[in-house]
Amino acid sequence: MPRNSLSSPACGGGVSAKPEGLVSMTEGAKPPSVSPLHHFVVPLPRFAGEDRKGFVSLVGAGPGDADHLTLGALKALQSAQALLYDALVSEDILALAPQKCVKICVGKRGDRLSVSQDKTNALMVRLAKKGLHVVRLKGGDPSVFGRVEEERLYLEAHDIGHKTLPGVTAASAAAAQFAFPLTHRGEARSVTFLTGRTKDGSIDLRHESISDPMVSLVFYMSSHNADHIEASLLHAGRSPQTPVVIIENAGRPTARALSGTLTEMAALVAQAAFDGPVLMGIGVAFGYARLALLNSGPVKARLQA
Amino acid sequence: MLYGPSFGVVAMLALPLSWPLENRQVVLIGAGAWAIRKLTLINRTPAKVTVFAPLADLTDALPRWPEAAELADASLIIVAFDDRTLAEKGAGLARTSRAPLNVVDFPDLSDFHVPAIIDRGTLSIGVATGGGAPVLARETRRKIEAAVPPSETEVAAFATALSPRLRDLIPNTDDRRRAWENILSSPATELARKGQIDDAVALALTNIDAPRTGVVHLVGAGPGDPELLTLKALRLLSEADVIVYDRLVGDGVMDLARRDADRFYVGKERSNHSVPQDQIHELLVEQARLGKRVVRLKGGDPFVFGRGGEEVEALRQAGIEVHITPGVTAALGCAASAAVPLTHRDHAQSVTFITGHSKDGDHSNPLRLDWSALSAPHHTLVVYMGVATAREIADKLTRHGRMPDTPVLVIENGTRADERRTLTHLGALADTIAAHPPKGPALVIIGEVAALYQDTAAAVITETLRINA
């Protein structure tokens, strides 16, 4: 069945109905061009309890595929009256929200932030104050590199009720897809999630540059810093032979994985010219990703050693 | 008068027919959001649509009422106005055509109603109550949405592509039905769900005469609350022949599993009475070799302290096909329910998961870690199963420089109805645990982020959610 762009607006793509005077879409963005009705403006649908206080659900959407959505997230989506979603949330997931739900892409994607956090916060509050159930749908899990605390504090400052629902984080999705454990008996006693994307864009590896070979490291949104991370870990005493796996679009059908050793990491990242979100796994456990070659079906063709 | 069939049930008030729209024309007469919603629906079908917008408020529409001739070839007519007078005028015009008519929200003016629809491509499901109970229809739709995940769209496309080939190969209807049953629970269907329809058809045709082979799915059940099960985990549970689970899987989760699946419980309290790991491996291999679809259900995520890696290795060595479905690991579930982030731009740039408990058969000490790295400030440390070794962990951290006043949140039975949280600090952790020993599985969050925990949040939120539900 052909799907018209109206049915599920992609980020920055078609928007079927723009609530008048309520929402400013992505700043400086071109008006959506795919929708034949993009000039049309409808007032926000009225709901019975409009004078009632709204509510915000901060929901982890998981890695992108609707399969990895939790039942709780599905319920929140189905009762959403306004949906603010990240760029990486798939159309399948957006289509689960009611048709009359206002869907707004706040386009957060690592460094490519099309709507500022302040604007997202303000928008959330404005919609909630209309008495709506607002769902703030975030890629992966909200508690890990999701800046969820800033949103919660803002909601509390405006006396708006909220609830957080966890999601499958990208590291778990990647591990399942490429069959490597994050912890493993006798070889990987702990796992650390880090990001190279700090407030000022720098990466701080003071305490993370641990030489302990028994720790699995997973870097989120850090591929631009691969050379720095590689050098720091080698300097800290990590073995040059430490297995490394680099995964793009973890948990999605389009996922791609590269494997190698720590000394090859930056070169692999540079060669791959990734476009989707990238995870970098460093540690003995990631050596098992090669086992995916044995019998994991379609994935094997994509695992390039 | 309502009357039912002979066994005394009230009759269906409406028949949920399906209406093919390829090469057909649909006429929409309407205005505003109502018209847009119906247009969005029709645009998901292959129908040609003509839109009349008498209020001239829609672009790409004719800004007037239709002429009778313009309605003559319509296959369906939909009238969508927010206003009874306009709706009646539209309905009056539509009556000049023989096409069935739906007037949105005015069932008395309509020939047919549009059911609540679950759109899975070739597969579409309608829920109708004859207009009598729209809320019931919507609730039913929600339940079906969860049971028929969006990946069913790909399965439907796969089945449509395979159907003519299978009809040629297996002319006998009963044999073909059995073949379908096998195919729809086979790896070919899993491949189709990933969108690789052609490969899936090829695989299904290759395996058509092969005996059914067993498969093991390692599935993360999430942190306890059945609502935190993923759609894929729910689907695998509803298709399983055999389910192997342990004490970290919430009871509510098992209630969602297929009722006639064989269930094997392999874990009780900590390591004391649980089935040794190698016997779990044997059980999985044995059941898979019987041709069963086995789900190995694990609390949280299979690859975070779940020994999933060992099970994958053992199954592969035995030549058993194995697939892994991720889950929400306990740290994420607990962080969300306590409204505490694990990373924070000011307080923690990274988070480490460690386990305080040595699994049976694992003689290496899980606490043999680089404690000077773990003791750094601005870093969150999450300890799984850390109750028994809490004192040792707190000692090691403070000895390596973590401040004794570092906030610590202890969460027992995280995400379950009986969740209990205690906010303390590193220096008092061992005594706090000794004073209130957790009975269920407990998770310890150590770091500046724990101080963001607000005790009263939960009650307020539950109340607000109830109002909004």
Secondary structure of chain B as H, E, C letters: CCCCCCCCCCCCCCCCCCCCCCCCEEEEEECHHHHHHHHHHHCCCCCEEEEECCCCCCCCCECCCCCHHHHCCCCEEEEECCCHHHHHHHHHHHCCCCCCEEECCCHHHCCCCCCEEEEECCEEEEECCCCCCHHHHHHHHHHHHHHCCCCHHHHHHHHHHHHHHHHHHCCCHHHHHHHHHHHCCCHHHHHHHCCCHHHHHHHHHHCCCCCCCCEEEEEECECCCHHHCEHHHHHHHHHCCEEEECCCCCHHHHCCCCCCCEEEECCCCCCCCCCCHHHHHHHHHHHHHCCCEEEEEECECCCCCCCHHHHHHHHHHCCCEEEEECCCCHHHHHHHHHCCCCCECCCECEEEEEECCCCCCCCCCCCCCCHHHHCCCCCEEEEECCCCCHHHHHHHHHHCCCCCCCEEEEEECCCCCCCEEEEEEHHHHHHHHHHCCCCCCEEEEECHHHHHCCCCHHHHHHHHHHHHC
d(CA B212, CA B292): 8
CATH match of B215-328 with 3.40.640.10: no
Cβ neighbours of B145 in A, within 8 Å = 74, 78, 96
Q: How far is A185 from chain B (nearest CA, A)?
A: 7
Q: Where are the domains of chain A?
A: 55-168, 171-288
- Least CB–CB distance from B40: residue in A99, A177, A185: A99
Residue B323's DSSP bridge partners are B217
d(CA B36, CA B53): 11
Asked whether the beta carbons of residue A189 and residue B368 sit closer than 8 angstroms, the reply is yes
Whether A15 has its CB under 8 Å from any CB of chain B: the answer is: no
Q: What is the ipTM, given to two decimal places?
A: 0.81
Please report the number of interchain residue pairs, chain A to chain B, with beta-carbon separation below 8 angstroms. Answer: 307
- Least CB–CB distance from A16: residue in B36, B359, B452: B36
The secondary element (H helix, E strand) that includes residue A234 is helix A226-235
Look at the domain A171-288 and name its fold.
Answer: 3.30.950
Give catalytic status of residue A86 as yes or no.
yes
Q: How far is B178 from chain A (nearest CA, A)?
A: 24
What is the pLDDT, as a whole number, of residue B44?
87
d(CA B79, CA B87): 6
Name, in order, each residue with C-beta under 8 angstroms of B151's C-beta and a sequence gap of 6 or more: A65, A66, A67, A92, B193, B232
Beta strands at A278-282 and A243-248: parallel, antiparallel or unpaired: antiparallel
What is the pLDDT, as a whole number, of residue B90?
95
- Least CB–CB distance from B59: residue in A39, A141, A189: A39
pLDDT confidence bin for B195, thresholds 50/70/90: confident
Tens-place pLDDT, residues B83-92: 999 999 999 9
Residue B420's DSSP bridge partners are B412
First and final C-alpha spacing in chain B: 35
Asked whether the beta carbons of residue B327 and residue A143 sit closer than 8 angstroms, the reply is no
Structure tokens at B461: 């939120």
The secondary element (H helix, E strand) that includes residue A85 is strand A82-85
Q: What residue has token string 């590291």?
A: A171
Tens-place pLDDT, residues A89-112: 888 899 899 888 999 998 765 555
Name, in order, each residue with C-beta under 8 angstroms of B417's C-beta and a sequence gap of 6 or more: none
Burial class (CB in 10 A: 0-12, 13-18, 19+), A271: exposed
Q: Which of residues 194-213 of A touch B (CB under 8 A)?
A: 194-195, 198-199, 204, 206-208, 210-212
- Least CB–CB distance from A295: residue in B60, B234, B316: B316
d(CA A236, CA A279): 21
Phi, psi (degrees; rounded to nearest 5) at A262 = -55, -40
Asked whether the beta carbons of residue A181 and residue B452 sit closer than 8 angstroms, the reply is no
With a cut of 50, say whether residue A17 has pLDDT above it.
no
What is the pLDDT, as a whole number, of residue B49?
94
Cβ neighbours of B194 in A, within 8 Å = 253, 298
- Least CB–CB distance from B227: residue in A72, A176, A190: A72
Cβ neighbours of B45 in A, within 8 Å = 1
CA atoms within 13 A on the CB side of A246: 29
Q: Which of B342, B374, B452 would best serve as a mutation to test chain A binding (most A beta carbons within 10 A)? A: B342
d(CA B344, CA B236): 35
Q: How far is A264 from chain B (nearest CA, A)?
A: 24
Q: Which of B301, B311, B379, B446 would best serve as a mutation to test chain A binding (most A beta carbons within 10 A)? A: B301
Cβ atoms B204, B162 nearer than 8 A = yes
Q: How far is B436 from chain A (nearest CA, A)?
A: 27
Q: How far is B234 from chain A (nearest CA, A)?
A: 9
Tens-place pLDDT, residues A67-85: 999 999 999 999 999 999 9
How do the residues of chain A divide into helix, strand and coil, expressed in percent and rounded to 5? 30, 25, 50
Catalytic residue among B225, B232, B241, B246: B246
B45 to A66, A109, B25, B42, B123: CA distances (angstroms): 22, 32, 11, 5, 12
What is the pLDDT, as a whole number, of residue A208?
53
Catalytic residue among A108, A130, A138, A141: A108
Q: How far is B6 from chain A (nearest CA, A)?
A: 38
For domain A55-168, give its CATH number from 3.40.50.720, 3.40.1010.10, 3.40.50.300, 3.40.1710.10: 3.40.1010.10
Asked whether the beta carbons of residue A6 and residue B304 sit closer than 8 angstroms, the reply is no
Question: Which residue in A has a C-alpha nearest to residue B374's C-alpha?
Answer: A207
Q: What percent of chain B has pLDDT over 70?
A: 91
With a cut of 70, say whether residue B6 has pLDDT above it.
no
Asked whether the beta carbons of residue B461 and residue A189 sit closer than 8 angstroms, the reply is no
Relative orientation angle of helices B231-239 and A71-78, to the nearest 10 degrees: 120
Question: Which residue in A has a C-alpha nearest to residue B147's C-alpha?
Answer: A71
Cβ atoms B346, A224 nearer than 8 A = no
Give catalytic status of residue B108 as yes or no.
no
Cβ neighbours of A55 in B, within 8 Å = 464-465, 467-468
SS3 A265: helix
Structure tokens at B23: 């090469």
Asked whether the beta carbons of residue B343 and residue A60 sit closer than 8 angstroms, the reply is no
Q: How far is A105 from chain B (nearest CA, A)?
A: 19
What is the pLDDT, as a whole number, of residue A303?
40
Phi, psi (degrees; rounded to nearest 5) at A247 = -120, 130
- Identify the residue with better confidence: B11 or B167: B167
Q: How far is B67 from chain A (nearest CA, A)?
A: 23
With a cut of 90, say whether residue B28 has pLDDT above it.
yes
- Least CB–CB distance from A166: residue in B191, B335, B452: B335
**Can you tell me the mean pLDDT for B286-296?**
93
What is the pLDDT, as a whole number, of residue A203?
60
B444 to A35, B344, B421, B461: CA distances (angstroms): 49, 17, 10, 23
Beta strands at B25-30 and B76-80: parallel, antiparallel or unpaired: parallel
Structure tokens at B162: 């395979």
What is the pLDDT, as a whole number, of residue B361?
44
pLDDT confidence bin for B373, thresholds 50/70/90: confident
- Least CB–CB distance from A6: residue in B40, B225, B310: B40
Query: How many C-beta neighbours within 10 Å does residue B363 have?
Result: 9
d(CA A119, CA A116): 5
Tens-place pLDDT, residues B83-131: 999 999 999 999 999 999 999 988 889 999 888 888 888 888 988 887 6
Chain centre distance of CA B444: 27
CATH code, B331-462:
3.30.950.10
Looking at domain B25-114, its CATH superfamily turns out to be NAD(P)-binding Rossmann-like Domain (3.40.50.720)
Tens-place pLDDT, residues B46-73: 999 999 999 988 888 999 999 999 999 9
Asked whether the beta carbons of residue A199 and residue B305 sit closer than 8 angstroms, the reply is no
Lowest mean pLDDT among A170-179, B41-50, B163-172, B266-275: B266-275
Q: Which of residues 136-195 of A touch B (CB under 8 A)?
A: 141-150, 152, 161-169, 172-173, 175-177, 179-186, 189-195
Q: Which of residues 51-110 of A touch B (CB under 8 A)?
A: 52-55, 60, 62, 65-72, 74-75, 78-79, 92-93, 95-96, 99-100
Q: What residue has token string 């000077």?
A: B372
d(CA B150, CA B439): 39
Lowest mean pLDDT among A27-31, A190-194, B172-176, B367-371: A27-31
**Can you tell me the mean pLDDT for B183-211?**
86
Cβ atoms B459, B417 nearer than 8 A = no
Relative orientation angle of helices B173-183 and B152-169, to the nearest 10 degrees: 150
What is the pLDDT, as a whole number, of residue A282?
95
Lowest mean pLDDT among A32-41, A233-242, B99-108, B421-430: A32-41
